[in-house]
Amino acid sequence: MILSATHQQFRHEIREFANSVIKPRAGDHDRSGKFVIENVKEMALRGYLGIPWPKELGGLGLDYLAYAIAVEEISRVCASTGLTLAAHTSLGTYPIFKFGTEAQKLKYIPPLAQGKYLGAFGLTEPNAGSDAASIESTAQKVANGYVLNGTKRFITNAGFAGTVVVAATLDRKLGRKGITCFIVETKSQGFIVAKEEHKLGLRASNTVELAFEDLFVPQDNLLGHEYDGYRIFMETLDGGRISIGAFCLGMAQSALDSLINWAQKREISQQAAKAIADVATEVEAARLLVYDAAIIKDQGRRADKQCAFAKLFASEVAMRSVNVAMSVIGIQSLDSESDLNRVYRDAKLGEIGEGTSEIMRLIIAKEVLKEEV
């Protein structure tokens, strides 16, 4: 795909930043499991925490394609930082930008876009993953607002966030129709970071369990309308899949980078050359799908099918690419200092988070079967 001069220039800028600032720290961050807070500050300084939001709201005024390119390039050198950026932008900020009132946007988007604090999105619970309609966290209507109680699991960035967009039910009997979304400020009494999740990969991204204990949310922080939360988070997740696709694309490219580095230093067998060609072809196909979904979103069209294509394909390509790269390169790829060692563990999230591969296939089949033939 031929990118516009603006997008090419932006890729060049982001790549330089990623290679000079983020890449040198990626191995240490993975080994220590320490959150990438310095990287967050560096991204904030350059405006990268607000890439697709308008300048009037403190953003860079670019588009979703530019944002996808940024997530790709950063994930190529450090997937933990790429996920932090993706969750902050697509999950923590987008729903406020899309569904918030003017007052909510003016209050929350500028500090999020400028990196005064991170954003997060709390949907998943111990008994509600793919079946998000079965969430058990409750919101009870009281004078001037709501009181939230419940538990959320595997919430990215929430240990370092200023706001979390939370889904809770006003009436469990109503199933998905009872769900309502709220903008929760993490300084509120009753907002508890219960524990850090210790993960196989993405060890330097922050993932936590949250508890809400009689957490008061003012009426002004209702996001959208009561009983409209399911639609809000479904649309948020659709867009989020572009960035998870871009995050997986970055990891797939990183595996290809390792193969190219390795192959350029030796005579390689025909079998290795074939493996490299196959990985390169799949990575390019994943890039086309991710960029296509971003362009459709930039045109203001719903892109459910294209987002699912991008997320499903890029996540599976990331897993295949790193697996092939490790097999071709052999034992040195197992070394704890090797990028592939880290990417091998990081890539698995792509097939699970923001909708598993099985759920992506259900979405694609549903959309494809609506089409006239």
Query: Site residues (CB under 6 A) for ligand FAD?
Result: 87, 91, 120-124, 129-131, 154-156, 199, 202, 207, 349, 352-354, 356, 358-359, 362
Q: Between 63 and 229, name the residue whose CB sits nearer to ligand FAD.
A: 229
Q: Between 123 and 279, name the residue whose CB sits nearer to ligand FAD.
A: 123
Return the SS3 of 256.
helix
Q: Between 127 and 281, name the residue whose CB sits nearer to ligand FAD.
A: 127
Q: Between 37 and 362, name the residue whose CB sits nearer to ligand FAD.
A: 362
Shortest Å, Cβ 196 to ligand FAD: 12
Closest residue to ligand FAD, judged by C-beta, is 129
| CA–CA gap between residue 123 and residue 152 (Å, rounded) | 7
Shortest Å, Cβ 122 to ligand FAD: 6
Quote the Cα angle for 86-87-93, to 5°. Answer: 100
| Beta strands, E only, the chain | 118-122, 138-142, 145-156, 161-169, 179-185, 191-196, 207-218, 222-223
Shortest Å, Cβ 348 to ligand FAD: 8
Q: Is the dihedral of CA 185, 187, 193, 199 positive or negative?
A: positive
Q: What amino acid positions are annotated as catalytic residues?
A: 354
Q: Between 121 and 262, name the residue whose CB sits nearer to ligand FAD.
A: 121
Shortest Å, Cβ 308 to ligand FAD: 13
Query: Do residues 74 and 215 lie in contact, with contact meaning Cβ atoms separated by under 8 Å?
Result: no
Characterize 14-33 residue by residue with b for buried, 16 or more Cβ atoms within 10 angstroms of its Cβ, and e for exposed.
bbebbeebbbebbbebbeee
Shortest Å, Cβ 117 to ligand FAD: 15
Token pair 């925490």 in the structure block, residue: 49
| CA–CA gap between residue 275 and residue 324 (Å, rounded) | 7
Residue 14 CB contacts under 8 Å (≥ 6 apart), including other chains: 48, 69, 70, 73, 74
